Chains A and B, each alone.
Chain A
Amino acid sequence: MIITRFKEDFYNVVRKTHVLMITSNDVDSLCTTAILSHLFTCDDVMFTVVPVDGYEELNDALRARQDYTSSIVLINCAVTCPILEILNVPPNSTVFVVDSRRPLNHFNVFEANQIRILVNEAERSSLGIPNLDDVIAKDEDSESDDDDDEYSEGSNDGGGRRNIIDRVTRRAVRKENKRLWESQKNKILWQYYEYNWHSTSTAVQMLELAAELDRASAELMWYAAIGVSSQYTDRLIPIEGYTDTCVTRMKPFITKFSPKNAAKSDDLLRISFGKELPLALYTHWNLYNAMAVNEYFACKTKNWTQKGEKNMKELLAKMGITLVETSRKFESIESKQKKELIEILDKEMGIGFASFTVHLGYSGQVNAADIARAAALRIESPHNVEPMDRFQAALRIIRAAISGPKDQQVILVDAFERSYQKMLKMIWHLVGTAINQSEIVSTGAFYLMSSQRAISAEVAESRHFLLNFTHFLLKAFACSKRGRSGKPLIVTFPLPQSEKQPDGWHVVTGIMPLATAFEDNTFKSIIGRAFERAAKDQQNMQLSFDSFDNSIITMRATDRARFFDKLQSILETSGI
């Protein structure tokens, strides 16, 4: 069932006994868990945290606890599939689902006992949930058959013949009604499940719960800021959705925890929200590098081509930025000049991005989007590193930003420079190679880039990497030639063999066409659904839908050709 009163029907219920939190290993879930853990600690509630990478680990965690009788909280896991049917949920537990994925599986919605999905009242009406009677059959048919039998017993011959005809007719009518009902049900469900998208960050929702409990603080607001930023940096929501959440849902907290004229002091935590360049990590890098790997500038200058570097220099000159300025570490530039540079770049990029920045005392500042990026890379992969190790490492990154200058130094330098910048360069390099060597083919219904190049598990198993790469690639592809913005892009990579991953498997993902007009500030995508349909009824194909995102799947290299064939016919008829 759906519950909308988070405090009364969720928090006050779960706090009475032990709470088991099973969380997906991504940044928004991490922040959600951090906020809930904080609330539980304040109230002396015993809890357990188990991070999981996908359905298999989730099921393992549940199977090991069949005698559990308290509350289970699933954070960004499994709301899109029928939980009681496919998972071994402990029979005497209550399962609360905190999830930003949509649509909610209708079996979960109509399950009246064990499953409780937290949904904001305001969102409920826009979810398009079908009526119970239209999609879940009632058990009437068996009764009616009995009536018929009774009826036929006490009748004479002449009446009997008429009765038989009646009976047959009645049965035929019932069958026809059932068929009509089924057909109608399928149509409704088809529409209901057509798109997949993400709703408000769960961390933001938990921050609101904290406020209801009078426990909101700057620290919790920081977690929520990273949570919503991660939805943007993970490419789950468009910038409009991100801005909308910040400006509406985060507003009361912005007012409370970052007043304009706050006093500066050594241990005071301030979080400000303001205009910012959507240029990843530029404050911890130099401008040249940050721009070179950035989608906007790379595509504008096509800097993966031979003329690329020349284009970049011309662009810089046009903007009035010297090469010297771009090669200096941004931090070391004088603040007046910094401001000027930022204004020039902002005008050029014209993207209208604003972000949360944390100021601790007098030391430097850190941007929530950058932290979300670094944390994503750390928490999502590689899968053969213990999920809990990744979870705690990412948490340390997030906390480093608010715990003081010393922590900032060591942890963040490592996270930013050694890991994330490397990944940005890798993405740029892969995009450039794919374009230069024409690795993208058109199959009529979609574009396909099938990479032969092996990449490390650190990136291949990370949703953050896959989606950023795919978006970048599509943009680069479309800007290289006209007429390329009407088809979706599917991308596959070979997965390196490991303990958890047998050899010869590929990861497959896809995104909507560039020209898609997204409504409601969300990335509504049909790709996941198309994958599911392409995989259905396929004998001899081994596909894994282990990820909680149905648009990221893995399969054997040898099954790809058949899969893409099927996918083609499905996408052709879906009329994109």
Chain B
Amino acid sequence: MDDSFQPDALLNAASSSGEAAEEIGNEEEDEELITPAEVLLKMKRAWQNEAAAPCILPHQYEILEILVDQIDGMDENLARVKDKTQLKVSIHRAELQRINYLTSDYMRIRLKKIEGNVRRIMTQHNERLRQGKPPLLSEQELRFAEKYAKAEAQLLGKSVLGFLPTPVQKIPHPEEDADLSSVYLQVLEDNVENVPLPDYTDPTAEIIVSLERDSIHLIPFAPIRDHLENDRVRLL
């Protein structure tokens, strides 16, 4: 609990001045300052991980919402600039579009994942809340998931399930084969715990993959999921 972000503090900071550093952390710790460049880096990392991961990862909406606010602000500023022929206007605009792309794509990727297996994901989300782990979905995503699940259920009900006997009125859950797919990753920290993988040549044995800092591996997703959520590795 001590490590968790306090979304309110972040949002308040975000709506104040433009380029100033943001504050994170909860009231009990010393206030850390995070620079705009770091925010952007975190967003890029989150986007990369999300794009490469076969299942949905815990959300990074604190960072996302900071950036979305920034984009709005900068857009307004640029529209007010009188002399649009300055090179810096072009550079800012290009940068804005890049950031816009990152945030939009991050949201799109996640929505698609939610739509792909909405009930299972909502279950996982609630499970994590019970376990005190960082939430899978943001509030907005949760609301969307609920509406979507309802729409899907209505569709199935009105088209076929509603006409079937009660025991057969089940909505199918797709299998999640995150366990089977592999991902490329790079190790970011020292002393990351080794990962045991099944040895395909010998069902009883295991291969231990040691994760040294900066090394790159192709590994099944499931065993490294924990490392990913704690930022010890990143996906490529």
Choose among A16, A43, A44, A45 the residue that contacts B83 (Cβ–Cβ < 8 A). Answer: A16
Residues of B contacting A45 in the complex (Cβ-Cβ under 8 angstroms): 85
Interchain residue pairs with CB less than 8 A apart (8): A15-B85, A16-B83, A16-B84, A16-B85, A43-B85, A44-B85, A44-B90, A45-B85
Residues of B contacting A15 in the complex (Cβ-Cβ under 8 angstroms): 85
5 more A-B contacts (CB under 8 A) besides A15-B85, A16-B83, A16-B84?
A: A16-B85, A43-B85, A44-B85, A44-B90, A45-B85
B-contact 0/1 string along A1-41, CB 8 Å cutoff: 00000000000000110000000000000000000000000
With both chains docked as a complex, state the minimum distance between the C-beta of A39 and any C-beta of chain B, in angstroms: 13
Nearest first, the 7 closest Cβ-Cβ pairs linking A and B are A44-B90, A15-B85, A16-B85, A43-B85, A16-B84, A16-B83, A45-B85
- Main secondary structure on B side of the interface with A: loop
Interface centre among A15, A16, A43, A44 (most CB of B within 10 A): A44
With both chains docked as a complex, state the minimum distance between the C-beta of A3 and any C-beta of chain B, in angstroms: 19
Interface size grouping (class) on chain B: under 10
B-contact 0/1 string along A56-74, CB 8 Å cutoff: 0000000000000000000
B residues neighboring A (CB under 8 Å): 83-85, 90
With both chains docked as a complex, state the minimum distance between the C-beta of B195 and any C-beta of chain A, in angstroms: 45
With both chains docked as a complex, state the minimum distance between the C-beta of A14 and any C-beta of chain B, in angstroms: 11
Look across to chain B and name the residue whose beta carbon is closest to the beta carbon of A43. B85
Look across to chain A and name the residue whose beta carbon is closest to the beta carbon of B83. A16
Q: What is the CA–CA distance of A43 and B83 in the complex, to the nearest angstrom?
A: 13
With both chains docked as a complex, state the minimum distance between the C-beta of A545 and any C-beta of chain B, in angstroms: 40
Residues of A contacting B83 in the complex (Cβ-Cβ under 8 angstroms): 16
Q: What is the CA–CA distance of A16 and B85 in the complex, to the nearest angstrom?
A: 6
B-contact 0/1 string along A310-345, CB 8 Å cutoff: 000000000000000000000000000000000000
Q: What is the CA–CA distance of A44 and B93 in the complex, to the nearest angstrom?
A: 11
Q: What is the CA–CA distance of A15 and B86 in the complex, to the nearest angstrom?
A: 11
Q: What is the CA–CA distance of A43 and B90 in the complex, to the nearest angstrom?
A: 9
Residues of B contacting A16 in the complex (Cβ-Cβ under 8 angstroms): 83-85
With both chains docked as a complex, state the minimum distance between the C-beta of B137 and any C-beta of chain A, in angstroms: 39
Q: What is the CA–CA distance of A157 and B213 in the complex, to the nearest angstrom?
A: 119
Residues of B contacting A44 in the complex (Cβ-Cβ under 8 angstroms): 85, 90
Q: What is the CA–CA distance of A44 and B85 in the complex, to the nearest angstrom?
A: 8
Residues of A contacting B85 in the complex (Cβ-Cβ under 8 angstroms): 15-16, 43-45
Residues of A contacting B84 in the complex (Cβ-Cβ under 8 angstroms): 16
Q: What is the CA–CA distance of A394 and B6 in the complex, to the nearest angstrom?
A: 62
Q: What is the CA–CA distance of A251 and B85 in the complex, to the nearest angstrom?
A: 32
Q: What is the CA–CA distance of A45 and B83 in the complex, to the nearest angstrom?
A: 12
Q: What is the CA–CA distance of A575 and B234 in the complex, to the nearest angstrom?
A: 88
Q: What is the CA–CA distance of A44 and B87 in the complex, to the nearest angstrom?
A: 9
With both chains docked as a complex, state the minimum distance between the C-beta of B163 and any C-beta of chain A, in angstroms: 56
Q: What is the CA–CA distance of A260 and B15 in the complex, to the nearest angstrom?
A: 61
Q: What is the CA–CA distance of A44 and B84 in the complex, to the nearest angstrom?
A: 9
Q: What is the CA–CA distance of A523 and B84 in the complex, to the nearest angstrom?
A: 44
With both chains docked as a complex, state the minimum distance between the C-beta of A17 and any C-beta of chain B, in angstroms: 9
Look across to chain A and name the residue whose beta carbon is closest to the beta carbon of B93. A44
Q: What is the CA–CA distance of A15 and B90 in the complex, to the nearest angstrom?
A: 13
With both chains docked as a complex, state the minimum distance between the C-beta of B79 and any C-beta of chain A, in angstroms: 15
With both chains docked as a complex, state the minimum distance between the C-beta of B13 and any C-beta of chain A, in angstroms: 33
Look across to chain A and name the residue whose beta carbon is closest to the beta carbon of B89. A44
Look across to chain B and name the residue whose beta carbon is closest to the beta carbon of A17. B84
With both chains docked as a complex, state the minimum distance between the C-beta of A132 and any C-beta of chain B, in angstroms: 34
Look across to chain B and name the residue whose beta carbon is closest to the beta carbon of A44. B90
Look across to chain B and name the residue whose beta carbon is closest to the beta carbon of A12. B85
Q: What is the CA–CA distance of A303 and B198 in the complex, to the nearest angstrom?
A: 87
Q: What is the CA–CA distance of A15 and B85 in the complex, to the nearest angstrom?
A: 7
Residues of B contacting A43 in the complex (Cβ-Cβ under 8 angstroms): 85
With both chains docked as a complex, state the minimum distance between the C-beta of A8 and any C-beta of chain B, in angstroms: 14
Residues of A contacting B90 in the complex (Cβ-Cβ under 8 angstroms): 44
Q: What is the CA–CA distance of A43 and B85 in the complex, to the nearest angstrom?
A: 7
